Amino acid sequence: MNTDVLKMLISKLPATHEGEIGCDECFDELHEFAEMELKGKSPEQAMPLVKEHLDNCGECRQEYQALLEALKALNFPNN
């Protein structure tokens, strides 16, 4: 592991807390989060732990963006 990655990981430690969710749980909730957003609701208020995870995890954020684009392409929620 290079020094820059190690420094980045250490800098994230103070931002972690007991109630946060991991990637698996976030992934399980992404469809609901995306559907709420596309319906004009506030998923960040209804699902703050998912929002927090997406803010901190680039991989899950990429999955979320891909899901949003796919739902938009399917004309969700107007199908």
Query: pLDDT, tens digit, for every residue of 37-78?
Result: 999 999 999 999 999 999 999 999 999 999 999 999 998 877
User: Which amino acid is it at 71?
Assistant: L
CA atoms within 13 A on the CB side of 14: 3
pLDDT band at 16 (very low <50, low <70, confident <90, very high): low
List C-alpha distances in Å: 52 to 30, 41, 55, 77, 79: 12, 17, 5, 25, 30
C-alpha radius of gyration, the chain, whole number: 15
Put simply, whether the predicted model's pTM sits higher than 0.85 gets the answer no
